[in-house]
Homo-oligomer: A and B are copies of this chain.
Amino acid sequence: MSADIDVRALFLGDKAENEETFRSLLGTLIDDHIGWRKNYIAADVPAISQEDRRAPAFVATSDRVQSVMTELSQRMRSGSIPWNSAGRYWGQMNSETLMPSILAYTFAMLWNPNNVALESSMATSAMEAEIGADFAALFDFKDGWGHLSADGSIANLEGLWYARCIKSIPLAVKDVFPDKVGGKSDWELLNMSVEDILALVRDFTPDEYDAVKAASSRSGRNIPQLGKWIVPQTKHYSWVKALDISGVGLDQMVAIPVDVHYRMDVDVLKTEIEKLVAQKTPILGVVTVVGTTEEGAVDHVDKIVELREEFARKGTYFYIHCDAAYGGYGRALFRDVDGTYIPYEKLAEVHAQHNVFTSDAAVSRDVWAGYKAIENVESVTIDPHKMGYVPYAAGGIAIKHKEMRNVISYFAPYVFEKGIQAPDMLGAYILEGSKAGATAAAVWVAHRILPLDVSGYGRLVAKSIDAAHRFREFLSKFSFTVGDKTVKAVPLSRPDFNMVDWVLVPEGIGSLAELNALTEKLFDYSSYLDGPAYNNRFITSHTAFSTADYGDSPLPFVEKLGFTKDEWEKTGSVTLLRAAIMTPYLTDDALFAFYSEQIGSALQRRTAEALGD
């Protein structure tokens, strides 16, 4: 039962507290694998004899291996970041990862399965299919599907590829079988809903379907006609790359400003769509973000979906991709153990039942509603290597309509199977080819141990939100003196997720530019730029909000820092320290008190250095 899950048993531990368990599980798994090797046709002659092993060349090679491994250890220990620390790393979306996932990867890697085709990975292909089903269930895609990808950038590219291919189908049908869409104008064809498009091709014969696919955007035809791809102005660079790589092109990108909560401004979005529709410019799709990488903001997916419904009634339809690379696992916070999406009114009660939060951190109705509406988008990026606490590289994607797969599928002769289906030949249905089955093993054990609901991942994700809440509370009261000046921490507005951005402001700082320089310096001191991370007592990351990407959204914050609108306009950018809080440990009061004191004194010392005091 959920109450039994103690997430502290799922990590090796900041000080390797679970060392014994780790070693014992690892030992058993290695024994299991080695036993398997020895017993595969036990009568076979071993390829390496004891005599071979004593030969000088063999011994010399072993020595060489030994010395390279020693250098590897030296380099890893001197060039790595203590993400495992319970309270000294608050930067990128990193913490230590799930011990069972590390073990599963290590174990599965000994067989080196390749999930491109079932033939090369019977066990791990089945696991990836289960993971895909888990993703679909997480997002309430009743007839959905999903798979792992190399990373979130690739999953985003795949999302755009899906959109481009599917939205191009009606024009392709018109090219090849004009009678089947007789009477429809190009505008109507470009605004068919995904469901209608899937229905249109559902009864085509295989040959007809192939002919249509050959005339779809994969041919290179009609891509510019598909129209605009709308992204938040704070656009993650993966979207810029995806537009480039997919041939849709950056000319088609429309960037919508974010509001003061760093969510896509739905009013501006509506106006922009109206403008485009008035110009008869089609809209290929809209990207909505759940968990922005700089602010942890959760878009109003619900309002964007509503907007689509509103426009659909007027004959305009756009694809929606949800970039939940970072926030995707957060939906587990709202799923009850029976898989239902918990009504907002019952949320606090269910969370209390499951001891989800230990502080007064809570989730707003906006965030709840944004997450809920993901069930209505066509595709979602979700990265196990972010809030899934699984080691790199493990990205993922889920689609609402399994049938969408057929629109992008291909087949390779050398992995040809009878009666091809995913996962029989996953490579035919995805952007990538060969892929590590070990990744599927790592994600699979994580999902089996931590269900994707309020009893499992919900609790783990909540720990991070909880710690972020505590950290933000701490910062909001944090001040110290350097020389005769008071320095005050100013955190950004309350985040939707587990990201805390903040600035340290010395009394009487002359200008925003000066403050930005100080923040940059504090980052330099609190990162690998200050020498070995191992010697650093507080490590963080940083970001910058510029008018180019953020418009005036940061203005209220900048004013809170004590600067005028003029100063903001003159400088055009504000630099912040930035912490994705992922540590699973800091929901314990005593531990939080210990580390906040440590962080406080490290920040104080670093600020004094930076101010030359």
Contact = CB atoms under 8 A, between A and B. Distances in A.
Contacts of A428: 237
Contact of A153 (B19, B52, B122, B434): B434
A364 B504 CA distance: 68
B241 A223 contact: no
Contact of A85 (B23, B44, B113): B44
A14 B37 contact: yes
Interface stretch (A88-96, A138-146, A343-351): A88-96
B10 A435 contact: no
Q: Is the interface of A mostly helix, strand, loop or mixed?
A: helix
A377 interface: no
A236 B244 CA distance: 24
A438 B41 contact: no
A341 B54 CA distance: 34
Number of this chain's copies in the assembly equals 2
Contact of A61 (B9, B40, B391): B9
A86 interface: yes
Contacts of A10: 61, 65
Given A81-B111, A102-B109, A219-B251, A30 B34 contact: no
Contacts of A477: none
Interface stretch (A68-76, A184-192, A272-280): A68-76
A8 interface: yes
B119 A110 contact: no
A601 interface: no
Interface string A94-127: 1011011011111111111110001111111011
A41 B76 contact: no
Interface string A404-440: 0000101111101000000000011001111111110
Interface string A227-250: 000000000111011011111111
Contact of A150 (B91, B408, B432, B528): B432
Interface stretch (A200-208, A537-545, A552-560): A537-545
A119 B528 contact: yes
A391 B220 contact: no
Interface string A478-515: 00000000000000000000000000000000000000
A112 B126 contact: no
A193 interface: no
Residue of A23, A391, A437 with highest tally of chain B CB at under 10 A: A391
Given A119-B92, A120-B92, A161-B245, A12 B37 contact: yes
A246 to B, nearest CB: 6
A469 interface: no
Nearest to A20: B53
A5 interface: yes
A25 B118 CA distance: 32
B92 A25 contact: no
Contacts of A177: none
A517 interface: no
A82 B40 contact: yes
Interface in A1-52: 3-10, 12-19, 21-23, 25-26, 28-30, 32-34, 36-38, 40-41, 44-49, 52
B68 A445 contact: yes
A551 to B, nearest CB: 15
Nearest to A533: B122
A445 B72 contact: yes
A60 B240 CA distance: 46
A585 B578 CA distance: 53
Nearest to A104: B72
Given A94-B114, A247-B223, A410-B241, A88 B44 contact: yes
A410 B109 contact: no
A152 interface: yes
A264 B4 CA distance: 62
A14 B36 CA distance: 10
Residue of A7, A8, A245 with highest tally of chain B CB at under 10 A: A245
A549 B413 contact: yes
A38 to B, nearest CB: 5
Contacts of A65: 9-10, 21, 25, 99-100, 449
A471 to B, nearest CB: 15
Contacts of A591: 45, 47
A527 B13 contact: no
A416 to B, nearest CB: 7
A281 interface: no
A596 interface: no
Nearest 4 Cβ contacts at the A-B interface: A247-B247, A220-B249, A79-B123, A153-B433
13 contacts: A6-B55, A44-B85, A44-B594, A71-B448, A72-B441, A75-B127, A80-B121, A80-B123, A94-B112, A106-B106, A217-B244, A237-B410, A294-B413
Given A73-B107, A161-B244, A165-B244, 4 more contacts: A12-B37, A72-B108, A79-B122, A151-B433
